[in-house]
Amino acid sequence: MKKPVLKPWRSFVPDTLKILAMLIEQRIRAFLFYLSVLIFITGLPLILSSSFGYKFDRRNFKFARTGLIALKTQPPGANIYCDQKLLNDKTPATLNEFLPGRYIVRLELKDHYPWVADVQVEAGKVSRLEKIILFPLRSNVKKLNRERLSAFWVDQDREIIYYVNQEENSVYRSDLNGEHYEKLADITAIFPPPIKWVVSPDEKKLLYFNEHQIGLANIRPHKEQSLSPPSFILNYSPGKIAQIFWHSDSYHLVLISDQDIAVLEAKPDTLPTVLVTLSKKDNALFYDARRGALYFLDYQTAADGKMYNNLYKLELNAENYPLHEFIKLKSNEDHE
């Protein structure tokens, strides 16, 4: 019988290392498995809360529902900063997962002025900022006047700009783009400077006034003129002038002062004819030049002897109120 051959002890070392390596590998796999389960269990609330619009609030250590910020600019493509932090998004964009609170939003676009706002975010709501205009650094500015300028006014209905040169006592006009620029009239200066300028309905005369003086001037492009001399001043002393309107005939003026409503002719040395004596100062009023009607608020005595604040309508149209005949009749009565 043959004796068993014994292996030297060194031959067992590789097998032992293999077994040990297998055990270590199994334990590593088990550790990674349980670690994955732990991470999954721990992160599941975060995943679910994020999917349902919730986020962990470190300020009070609890989950809170988030809100959104919707941004839209003209032009688009602006960089978005939130609390001084640059975000990856560009406008237009909808930013989500904002905890309730206030955020400073800044939008920047090259060659445009930045836009900054303090935005309030509410839970479960969208803060919409979708009408943001980013203005260019260089605006499209165009010079319109060709002479020195001290005042101007715009007539939107006629699409005309009027320019006043008080150093030369002249008035110019152009269209809304500064084209067709021309001299309109020479004026006589009044002091203090006029508070308003008004062109007559027939575009042949220019009216301007302050509290006690009325300036009238002919407009040059029209050959037929009713004013003589070309410009003159009327002094008004009964009260402080609040407003003056051209009557539809382009000859009579409807004057409202702090004391009365009067009419006067657009000629030198004319005298006002008082139509209504007012009880209230600083009246709210509106003049309908097309219909020749003046609407005004005032205190007037009623049938019961008491004074009431009411809205009144004064008819000044040619059919109901022939101003030429009225003033002629009034002048004759004054001479008698």
One domain, residues 152 and 114: no
- pLDDT score for 214: 97
Residue 51: predicted pLDDT: 52
Q: Tell me which of 235, 264, 293 is where a domain ends.
A: 235
Domain stops at, among 86, 107, 133:
133
Distance, CA of 198 to CA of 241 (rounded, Å): 14
**Domain-embedded: residue 23:** no
Output the furthest CA–CA distance in the chain (Å, rounded): 173
User: Do residue 289 and residue 318 come from a single domain?
Assistant: yes
Q: Measure the CA–CA gap between 309 and 326, rounded to whole angstroms.
A: 28
SS3 per-residue string spanning 238-251: CCCEEEEEECCCCC
User: Is residue 249 located within the same domain as residue 196?
Assistant: no
Residues 170 and 121 in one domain: no
Contact 269, 281 (CB under 8 A): no
**Could you tell me if 178 and 249 lie in one domain?**
no
189 located within any domain: yes
Q: What is the pLDDT of residue 242?
A: 94
What residues make up the domain containing 225? 143-235
The pLDDT assigned to 333 comes to 47
Does 246 lie in the same domain as 335?
A: yes
Q: Is residue 21 situated within a structural domain? A: no
Domain count, the chain: 3
CATH number where 200 lies? 2.20.25
Give yes or no for a contact between 49 and 55, defined as CB atoms under 8 angstroms apart. yes
Sign of CA dihedral 161, 162, 167, 168: positive
Residues 248 and 332 in one domain: yes
50 found inside a domain: no
With vertex at residue 204, the alpha carbon angle to CA 294 and CA 227, rounded to the nearest 5 degrees, is: 95
Task: Specify the length of the chain in residues.
Answer: 336
CATH number at residue 115: 2.60.40.10
Measure the CA dihedral 212/218/219/224, to 10°: 150
Q: What tens-digit pLDDT sequence spans the chain (336 residues)?
A: 555 555 554 555 566 666 777 777 777 777 776 677 666 666 555 554 555 456 656 666 566 788 899 999 999 999 999 999 999 999 999 998 888 889 999 999 999 999 999 999 998 899 999 899 999 887 677 899 999 999 999 999 899 999 999 899 999 999 999 999 999 999 999 999 999 999 999 999 999 999 999 999 999 755 555 566 889 999 998 889 999 999 988 999 999 999 999 999 999 989 999 999 998 877 788 888 888 888 988 887 777 888 888 898 988 876 655 555 555 444 454 444
Residues 156 and 207 in one domain: yes
Looking up tokens 């206030």, which residue turns up? 102
5 part of a folded domain: no
Q: What is the pLDDT of residue 299?
A: 84
Residue 108 lies in a domain: yes
- Domain for residue 254, yes or no? yes
- For residues 162 and 217, state if they share a domain: yes
Cβ contacts of 17 within 8 Å, gap of 6 or more: none
Identify the pLDDT of residue 245.
94
Structure tokens at 201: 């309905």
Residue 246 lies in a domain: yes
Shared domain check, 119 and 150: no
Domain boundary among the residues 175, 208, 235 is at 235
Same domain, 336 and 268: yes
Is the CB of residue 216 less than 8 Å from the CB of residue 256? no
pLDDT of residue 72: 95
Kindly state whether residues 92 and 147 are assigned to the same domain.
Answer: no
